[in-house]
Structure 1
Amino acid sequence: MKTKLTVVGIMAILVSYSFTSTISEKKKNSITEKTTQMPDSVLRHVVLFKFKDGTAKEDIKKVEDAFSALPAKIPEIMGYEWGTNNSPEGLDKGFTHSFFLTFKSEEDRAIYLPHPDHKAFGAVLTPYLDDVLVIDYWTR
């Protein structure tokens, strides 16, 4: 009798382990799919500006206004925000302005980059720009 109970107990443990392992594997695969497919992922386009020393506040405002007008002119921009640096860390390397654009796809970004209104904005910016840093990434 003890042998039968022991065998039944071992079988129950094995079935339970197999079931738990299968569920765990399904969860793992589900997480992997979400990470690689990212159906709700969007493309972020981050632009940082460092203005030339002595650039007048009025000229910086012209640049801010010109950049802020782009979402109304270029429908492929699905999200837009901007701000000025206020980090206390002192690691900004002179970059003061951050502009954060969101696109649904690389195709939308490809339309934005050579867009005539984007090029016109570049003409407003260039006389005052000391340096620019651009990073694009897919959200996770």
Structure 2
Amino acid sequence: MTASLNKKSLLRPMRCVLTLLILAPFALSGAHAAPLSDAAIEQQALAGKVGTAQYTAPDFHPGIVRHMVMFRFRPETTQAQKAEVTRRFLALAKASRRSNGAPVIASLEAGPQNSGENADEGLQYGYLVTFRSEGDRNFYVGRPVVTDAAFLDPAHDAFKTFAGPFLEKAVVFDFTVSATQ
């Protein structure tokens, strides 16, 4: 068990936040906004209730938060472009920082889809980003819940703008770890 987990976060029931979001093409770049999921609406309400500063603070709901991202690239996206998307995504591990220089991401892993279960929905590449708190995740994710630039990660925001035109589909699923074995 990770020392950074506190008893309160272990006792909380598993929270699947920003549950399965299937984004329309270019939704990442902001050209066409995808409709908000129930989880995104719930998160907007929470941010409104506690305030954006608290919602994105590093100590907001501490605990291990997993942010799973899966992409299907547009058919015309070249191998070089796919590699650049992944290079830039992985670079966020160092580039995603708060204004005081504190890192936001605890770890970032990536790899191509290789399951034979026939349940991949055509998704081609996956990324697993780990945060130390929901506040760190909220700061990193930013839009659509957090829109004030002072409270979102400019590096991740720029990455979404860059990657959007290369993507046919993106799926994002976040959860706070509540059980391990």
* Normalised TM-score (structure 1): 0.70
Q: What's 1:68 paired with?
A: 90
1:84 to 112, 119, 123: 112
Shift of 1:35: 5.0
Q: Aligned AA for 1:69?
A: A
- Report the secondary structure of 1:42's partner residue: strand
2:78 to 56, 77, 93: 56
TM-score (norm 2): 0.55
Q: C-alpha separation between the residues in 1 aligned to 2:108 and 2:71?
A: 16
Change (3 A) 1:124 1:36: same
* Structure 1 residue runs of 4 or more that deviate by more than 6 Å after TM superposition: none
Task: Please name the residue that 1:100 is paired with.
Answer: 128
Q: Which residue of 2 aligns with 1:4?
A: none
Greater per-residue helix proportion: 1
Unaligned runs of 5+ in 2: 1-7, 14-61, 97-102, 143-152
Q: CA deviation at 1:54?
A: 2.5
Deviations 1:66-112 (A, max 9, x none): 10100101111011101110111222111011110011111111211
* Rg (Cα) greater in structure: 1
Sort the Cα spacing of 1:34 and 1:126 in 2 relative to 1 into closer, same or farther, 3 A. Answer: closer
Q: Indicate the SS of the match to 2:87.
A: helix
Among the aligned pairs, what percent are the same residue?
32
Q: Secondary structure at the match of 1:120?
A: helix
Structure 1 residue corresponding to 2:170, chosen from 129, 132, 136: 132
For residues 86 and 9 of structure 2, the distance between their equivalents in structure 1, rounded to whole angstroms, comes to 37
Number of equivalent positions: 107
